[in-house]
Amino acid sequence: MQDDVDILLVTGPAGVGKSTLCWEVGAMLVAAGMPHAIIETDELDRVHPKPSAEELERLKPGTRDVSSLNLAALWSTYHTLGHRRLIMSGVMLHLSFDRRWILAAIPQARFTIVRLMAAEATLLARLEQRETGSGLASQAERTLRQARRMAEEKQDGILFVPTDGRNPSELAQSVLAAWLGN
């Protein structure tokens, strides 16, 4: 169906390589001449102060998170321009909830869900490279909590991809093959 949207949803704990993978997948799609859009879900609700439930209800009844409104607005533009592939990344600790708000914004979405994983030592080393200042300790604690919770969750339909010792190009090729069926 022409209005269907294929979403590659890249999830995993902070520091596992979600953004890097999305950039690499995007570069490969560009090289292949395949239209797509990339949205990092962290940026959909990066606002202060957060809108209240009343404000969201006034904007669109039934809305509980500004992320869904912003995703719908962005996707409306991309979809009007002819895009049918969307790469999204985010921690996504609660996939059933996250799928609901994404589907509220893009009702015609079909998901391929990839959960990136890495050893705790790898996650901590990556965080040390990217975090600066006093936020490192709290981010490391949050990341390890996320990774442990995700390791316990075994859901059907999720492609679990270890990132330890693999370069972004190698990861992107395998994820693209799973997403596009190549």
In tens, the pLDDT along 7-38 reads 999 999 988 999 999 999 999 999 999 999 99
Query: In sequence order, what are the beta bridge partners of 155?
Result: none
- Cβ atoms within 10 A of the Cβ of 130, count? 11
Beta bridge partners of 160: 115
Give pLDDT tens digits for 134-177: 788 888 898 899 998 888 877 778 999 999 999 999 999 999 99
User: Which pLDDT tens digit goes with each residue over 34-61?
Assistant: 999 999 998 999 999 999 989 999 998 8
CA atoms within 13 A on the CB side of 117: 16
5-180 fold:
Rossmann fold (3.40.50)
- Where does the pLDDT of residue 75 fall: very low under 50, low under 70, confident under 90, or very high at 90 and above? very high
Give the integer Cα–Cα distance in Å for 113 and 86.
Answer: 12
Q: Distance between CA atoms of 182 and 180, rounded to whole angstroms?
A: 6
Provide the residue ranges of all domains of the chain, joining segments of one domain with +: 5-180
